[in-house]
Structure 1
Amino acid sequence: MQRRQWLKFTGGTLAGALGLGGLGSLLHTPVQAQAGYKALVCVFLYGGNDGLNTIVPTDTTRYNQYANVRGSLALPRTSLVSLGSSGYGLHPAMTALESVWNQGHLAPVFNVGPLYAPMTKTEYRNAPANSSLIPDALFSHSDQQLLWEAASTSAMARTGWGGRAAETLATANPVISVGGNGRFGLSTLAAPLVLPGPGATFGLEGLENTGWAPVGTRKTAIDALYAGSHPNALLNAYMSQQRDAFAMSDRLGALVKTTPSDANASAAINLAFAPLISNGSITSGLGQQLYQVAKLIEGRATVRGERQIFFASLGGFDTHGNQIGSSSTVGEHARLLGILAQAMACFHQAMLNLGLGQNVTLFTQSDFGRTFKPNNSAGTDHAWGNHHLVMGGAVAGGTTYGSYPELVLGGPDDVGVQSWELHGRWIPKIGVDQYAATLLRWFGASDTQLDTILPNLRNFSQRQLGFV
């Protein structure tokens, strides 16, 4: 925030400026420390990642089915990154994750999406327009992003499942976001703590402790303004939030600002992120975000709390055209998956270097999958069920989870029946609630807490998927 913005807000919005909106943002009451540190890291792929070209079957029958429908978008089988004997391969741009798979720390989860309850194609086709079984506004970017982040089937959902988890488990901090102010981290009383990237100032510019007397005088006056109490309960809570926000920025400012080239930078983290460091800076946006998360995890005593939830994001996955590229250009999807894989691999190595591989689990989310059948612009369109990746030392990797859809247009997994609607939009076999519940159970949530965080979970007989 610049000085003129500070003047505009009359010295009263530090919490909002720091991404701490909501009077309860810093008012969590921590439960007694649970045994051992654990962190969940969500990476949201905005735009709708094409899962069918992210994880491709390699057995002859299904690969031929895939190639026949995908046509010019089909990836050569020999180019895929082998996932051993699983019968699947990753997009060739994701070679950085091959070693993570070989370590047994990576697990693909197939055909996940927003669901109120398990649903067959017949139930989908016969459901009335207002049926609670059908998620709101299917195939819409903004709505499906909300449903994924909220673990809901209602576009009216106001909170995210990460925020509800932090609230229900009474973590020391709200969700910590390095990827923007998404719905995922929002709870009933707290917004996520939104942090800038490495090298940025976390706090209000112009009020740093520079030794210049006028700045010190101004800061003392502001501290005095918020130090008292007021008979109005709402104003009193607001003043308390401002005090907490100043304290938070004082505590985390130096940690947030550290870059790979600084003298106090972590050697263990720098070594892991070396493939992404050039001239003292991280070369990709997602890499910067996960570098920031790695620093916060290493500095967990400063951040505080035995349970932390982080949110990062990568955009650009709305590949309606030129998805593959040409012989002379790299397609947008390959470029994005390369960024994702390299950042994930560096982050995982950082956790191993810190001795925290078993304590941190990273997982992906996205708006939706994309159509099996390409469009007329050498791209793919909006769909429903999608494939995701879960990574970490506690992950039961080296295998896949869930059912890959039948690669048949108009088949049992495709919502379409009439010729004009046969695009391959998969009805999910796994609900977002089941995916989230598996992660949160590892994180320490009880069955009762899971039902509070994920209201639709009670509609599924299988509550745990076993990938972590």
Structure 2
Amino acid sequence: MNRRNFLKFGSASLATAATLSSLNVLANESASNSDDYKALVCVFLYGGMDNYDTIIPFDDVSYQGWAAIRAPLLSRYATSRTQSNLHALNTPARFGARKFALAPEMTQLAALYNQGNMAIVGNVGPLLAPTQRAMIEANTASLPARLFSHNDQQSTWMSGSPEGAQFGWAGKISDALVQGNIANDSPFSAITMSSGELLITGEQTAPYHLIGGNPADITVLKGVSGDLKAQLEQHFAATGEHASNLLKQDMIAKQQSAYHANALYKSSVSSNTETTTAFPNSFLGQQLASVANVISSHQQLGTNRQVFMVTLGGFDTHSDQARELPELQTTLDQAIGAFASELQANGLFDKVTLFTASDFGRTLAVNGDGTDHGWGSHHFVMGGAVNGGTIYGDLPPAEFDHSLDVGGGRLIPTISTEQYAANFASWMGVNETEINALFPTLGEFGERPDFMM
């Protein structure tokens, strides 16, 4: 690891990859006045969301087959999954007689989809090459490492490699944008509201951590005042520090940049806590409210490209799924709905794209009280720049033993995570040559689904 990366990853969580010159953003008129702003927001659903009970077959034949398989679970839901309670989706003609709907708890997501502001990307997952069940049975398929493992598949979704990877694809996108002079080199280019730092970590891009929408504080400064406080502030800002040793020089610069980055964030964003929309008081709702505040302050922060990471856990529903999953779906629906409303109210809906990701999907088969680990999963992509109101890719039938069923209704993906991510890279401004370098398996697949304008 080179000296720069050693410093970046060995420093405290306050540290960012910024230099002092990059923090003088308020004087950078080209940054602060530019309307060339774009942001990606990843909502990572930890545990593996059950897509079979999120995007539900809606035509009579498909629904009855699904309901028969899922009968042990369906009898336990407080809100019945009868067809009359589902939210019908406009289904593309290529699915023929098959129709789809969202779960009863997902009212706002269904409205966003049917209004053309959200798309569904079907059956996405880690792939090295197109794969069929027969290839797996014949032991001729090239498969991603450590399938069905939570930690490894979370890492693979974020980076293309199992647990232990250093850099994520969104962080690499941020690197490429800075190197191509499309994005400003800013400490606020990549922000995590909870965890999932890997996705937004690049070789030059380091995540800026927020806790409850705020940067980490130096607690001792809250209990002092006067000369003592001034002296402590100078100490923590490394004011006037000099050293001949190269390592000490870099650590001083790192401490100075981190301190001033936090000061700039507090002056630009922390005071901007009012939103037009009433966000739900859930963990996800408050994360997305903080993201909205940062986005609305992007000019003061001097950044024209940003990637955000927010998370929602609890989707590992091996048991008690009939109680837990509807609560999670309600949380997801209300938080994303409020986020969309806030962006629309502020005229920023066209500049922000939100997408979901998760460890994996889950089995169609019921284990008695829940479902087990799967592979391919369906995802939502929302924003004004999304070619919405339609489904991209495949939604395989809710039945067993077809060519994409690897057992128990575990779906073999038909869209790779790299194809999924490449669309976001292109929208953010990365050229195709660089995209192919960032995502080396793209050449193994055909034309990627184009769900971004």
TM over 0.5: yes
Q: CA deviation at 1:205?
A: 2.1
Match of residue 439 from structure 2: 454
Match of residue 3 from structure 2: none
Match of residue 180 from structure 1: 195
The residue type paired with residue 165 of structure 1 is I
1:168–1:452 contact (8 Å) kept in structure 2: no
The answer to whether residue 376 in structure 2 is matched with residue 415 in structure 1 is: no
1:25–1:189 contact (8 Å) kept in structure 2: no
SS of match in other structure, 1:214: helix
CA distance in 1, matches of 2:149, 2:174: 28
2:392–2:449 contact (8 Å) kept in structure 1: no
Where do 1:15-34 residues align within 5 Å? 16-18=12-14, 20=15, 24=17
Match of residue 314 from structure 1: 312
The answer to whether residue 424 in structure 2 is matched with residue 439 in structure 1 is: yes
Structure 1 residues 97 and 452 mapped into 2: Cα distance closer, same or farther (>3 Å)?
A: same
Match of residue 58 from structure 2: 58
Where do 1:24-173 residues align within 5 Å? 24=17, 36-74=36-74, 75-86=81-92, 87-127=99-139, 133-150=142-159, 152-170=160-178, 171=183, 172-173=185-186
Structure 1 residues 390 and 242 mapped into 2: Cα distance closer, same or farther (>3 Å)?
A: same
CA distance in 2, matches of 1:387, 1:201: 33
The residue type paired with residue 89 of structure 2 is L
Structure 1 residues 244 and 208 mapped into 2: Cα distance closer, same or farther (>3 Å)?
A: farther
1:52–1:387 contact (8 Å) kept in structure 2: no
Match of residue 303 from structure 1: 301
Where do 1:396-411 residues align within 5 Å? 396-411=387-402
The residue type paired with residue 84 of structure 1 is N
CA distance in 2, matches of 1:192, 1:201: 12
CA distance in 2, matches of 1:58, 1:139: 28
The residue type paired with residue 332 of structure 2 is L
Q: CA deviation at 1:343?
A: 0.4
2:279–2:335 contact (8 Å) kept in structure 1: no
Deviation digits for residues 233-290 of structure 1 (CA, Å, limit 9, x no counterpart): 33322221111101111011245544xxxxx543xx2x32x252xxxxxx10001100
Deviation digits for residues 107-133 of structure 1 (CA, Å, limit 9, x no counterpart): 1111000011222222223336xx7x2
1:437–1:464 contact (8 Å) kept in structure 2: no
CA distance in 2, matches of 1:453, 1:26: 25
The residue type paired with residue 56 of structure 2 is V
Structure 1 residues 243 and 36 mapped into 2: Cα distance closer, same or farther (>3 Å)?
A: same
Q: CA deviation at 1:464?
A: 4.2
Structure 1 residues 349 and 251 mapped into 2: Cα distance closer, same or farther (>3 Å)?
A: same
Match of residue 217 from structure 1: 231
Where do 1:210-289 residues align within 5 Å? 211-223=225-237, 225=238, 227-258=240-271, 265-266=273-274, 269=275, 271-272=276-277, 274=278, 276=280, 283-289=281-287
CA distance in 1, matches of 2:144, 2:132: 14
Equivalent in 198, 206, 209 of residue 194 of structure 1:
209
Identify which range, 209-218 or 173-182, moves more after superposition. 209-218
The residue type paired with residue 355 of structure 2 is F
The residue type paired with residue 433 of structure 2 is T
Identify which range, 60-69 or 458-467, moves more after superposition. 458-467
Match of residue 327 from structure 2: 335
Match of residue 206 from structure 1: 220
Structure 1 residues 467 and 401 mapped into 2: Cα distance closer, same or farther (>3 Å)?
A: farther
Equivalent in 381, 386, 393 of residue 384 of structure 2:
393
Match of residue 359 from structure 1: 351
Match of residue 448 from structure 2: 463
1:401–1:467 contact (8 Å) kept in structure 2: no
Q: CA deviation at 1:310?
A: 0.6
TM-score by length of 2: 0.85
1:195–1:256 contact (8 Å) kept in structure 2: no
Q: CA deviation at 1:388?
A: 0.5
CA distance in 1, matches of 2:149, 2:135: 21
2:155–2:161 contact (8 Å) kept in structure 1: no
2:269–2:297 contact (8 Å) kept in structure 1: no
The residue type paired with residue 299 of structure 1 is S
CA distance in 2, matches of 1:452, 1:26: 27
Q: CA deviation at 1:387?
A: 0.6
Match of residue 6 from structure 2: none
SS of match in other structure, 1:218: helix
Deviation digits for residues 358-388 of structure 1 (CA, Å, limit 9, x no counterpart): 1000000000000011102x10000100010
CA distance in 2, matches of 1:321, 1:370: 12
Q: CA deviation at 1:175?
A: 1.6
SS of match in other structure, 2:321: coil
Q: CA deviation at 1:25?
A: 6.0
Structure 1 residues 433 and 408 mapped into 2: Cα distance closer, same or farther (>3 Å)?
A: same
CA distance in 2, matches of 1:365, 1:53: 16
Matched residue pairs, number?
419
2:42–2:309 contact (8 Å) kept in structure 1: yes
CA distance in 2, matches of 1:284, 1:119: 39
CA distance in 1, matches of 2:444, 2:132: 14
1:227–1:243 contact (8 Å) kept in structure 2: no
Q: CA deviation at 1:317?
A: 0.5
CA distance in 1, matches of 2:48, 2:21: 33
CA distance in 2, matches of 1:35, 1:134: 43
Name structure 2 gaps, 5 residues minimum.
Answer: 1-8, 75-80, 93-98
CA distance in 2, matches of 1:97, 1:451: 32
CA distance in 2, matches of 1:114, 1:299: 35
Q: CA deviation at 1:26?
A: 5.8
CA distance in 1, matches of 2:156, 2:130: 16
Q: CA deviation at 1:455?
A: 2.2
Name structure 1 gaps, 5 residues minimum.
Answer: 1-12, 259-263, 277-282, 325-330, 417-422
Structure 1 residues 25 and 78 mapped into 2: Cα distance closer, same or farther (>3 Å)?
A: farther
CA distance in 2, matches of 1:195, 1:275: 18
SS of match in other structure, 1:344: helix
**CA RMSD across the alignment:** 2.6
Structure 1 residues 241 and 201 mapped into 2: Cα distance closer, same or farther (>3 Å)?
A: closer
